[in-house]
Amino acid sequence: MKMIDLTHSFTDNMPVYPGDPMPSLKQVASIDKEGYTDHLITTGMHIGTHMDAPLHMIKNGKKIDEIPPERCIGNGVLIDATKSNKVDTSLLKGLSIKEGSIVLVYTGFGSNYRKKSYFKNYPLITEDFARKMVELKVKIVGMDTPGPDEPPYPIHKILLGKVVLILENLTNLDQLLNIKHFEVMALPAKFHTDAAPVRVIVRIRD
């Protein structure tokens, strides 16, 4: 069985969306001094690889800890958007996306993750594409970019308004090219918040 990790490691001074507070990850105890190791983390919820819950954009929407775990696991579908400057329904031709699928959009833009350019001019998801995901009743849409859209965040609202969860800042999606059958497991930390860090793992099926 092969597993692929689609998650960026959380480190000190992670890149953040412009305007968000900077995170920190500091060691606060060591085995040599205290007899054990401990760390302190300070972070917003939309830093690194994370999952957006409906409350992020929808008034009175569900929080992350209200999302059942079965909604975070499902058969994956990879969309190769590396040759397009936008993610639209033309990229769905020839693909079979069943209800309950987890759709991952590979743009290649994730290679800029630790560059200042990462938060500028990234490929955006169109409203038609988002509405098609809602129509198909997928569980999650994920991408290797800072997000599916820009202010005023229409795509967030289309997806989250129908409880289609969003994964942002994925990595290693290139490893899924030419793989037909895989399962996605994206279990966020159980925080009583609008989003949370998430470990996203893919299991390749024989």
- Number of domains, the chain: 1
- Report helix, strand and coil shares of the chain as percent, to nearest 5: 20, 30, 50
Three-state SS for 110? helix
Q: Which residues on adjacent β-strands are paired with residue 185?
A: 73, 201
Q: What is the pLDDT of residues 20-43, one digit of tens each?
A: 999 999 999 999 999 999 999 999
Q: Which domain holds residue 163?
A: 2-204
Closest by CA to 52, choosing from 178, 166, 171, is 166
CATH number for the domain that contains residue 73: 3.50.30.50
**What is the DSSP code (8-state) at residue 151?**
T
Query: Among candidates 192, 172, 204, 195, which has minimal Cα distance to 8?
Result: 172
Q: What is the mean pLDDT of the chain?
A: 96
Q: What is the pLDDT of residues 138-185, one digit of tens each?
A: 999 999 999 999 999 999 999 999 999 999 999 999 999 999 899 999
Contact 1, 203 (CB under 8 A): yes
